[in-house]
Amino acid sequence: MLTTGDLAPDFSIVGVVRAERDEFSLSETTDAGNHVVLFFYPADFSPVCTPEMCAIRDADFFEATPNVVPWAISGDSTYAHRTFADAYDLGFPLLSDTDHSVAAAYDVKYEEWEGHRGMVKRGVFLIDPDRRVRYAWRSDDAYVKPDLWPLRQALDEAIRGGSVAGDLDEAVSVPDYDTDELERIE
């Protein structure tokens, strides 16, 4: 099981950002001095994943922190990702792990879940520019949403050595609202 301090498995897979299809390489991105936050999630448009992705979209600390790149990874195709990103104005890359090899390397792959083989589990990993895991969270329960507060703390520690920028009086977590209540971009 991948834990804090481990070397993150390298990968290069296709994805979409702002309707453009591209290849995304972990090592190329970290070698450029970036921290990468990997958000593994089961499926586009699902009732738990949709609010999670919208919370990531709305998390101000990604934009406020230099050299931090959030990537979301599921087994969905780039076509599904493009539609999902357009529907919810997701401006960060959605990567397509269609053979589930990246999910398996990060130990976030169900062999079988609710009749579906090889689904991606929910997980969050912060990877530093040396490709070391600085934060790791995963859940075997697909309905458990990640809390972004510990990620924000780990990110701050990795980048600034503990001097958090911004107002941290409130925990930053994934909002608990229904997919129907989300603002859809038409």
pLDDT in tens, 105-164: 999 997 766 666 677 999 999 999 999 999 999 998 888 888 888 998 898 888 876 433
pLDDT at 36 over 80: yes
Q: How far is CA 89 from the centre of its chain?
A: 16
- Break the chain into its structural domains and give their ranges: 12-180
* pLDDT in the model for residue 174: 40
Q: Which of the residues 49, 55, 126, 148 is marked catalytic?
A: 49
Q: Kindly report the average pLDDT of the chain as a whole number.
A: 84
Per-residue pLDDT, averaged over 7-25, amounts to 96
Percent of the chain's residues with pLDDT above 90: 57
Active site residue 54: no
The answer to whether 4 and 134 have CB atoms below 8 angstroms apart is yes
Lowest mean pLDDT among 71-85, 87-101, 170-184: 170-184
pLDDT range class, residue 101, cuts 50, 70, 90: very high
Nearest to 73 by CA among 121, 138, 130: 121
* pLDDT in the model for residue 112: 65
CATH superfamily name and code, 12-180: Glutaredoxin (3.40.30.10)
Using the CB atoms, write b or e for 59-92: b if 16+ within 10 Å. Answer: bebbeebeebbbbbbbbbebebbbbbbeebebeb
In terms of Cβ atoms closer than 10 Å to its own Cβ (0-12, 13-18, 19+), residue 131 is middle
Q: Where are the alpha helices (DSSP H) in the chain?
A: 26-31, 49-58, 60-64, 78-88, 101-105, 148-160
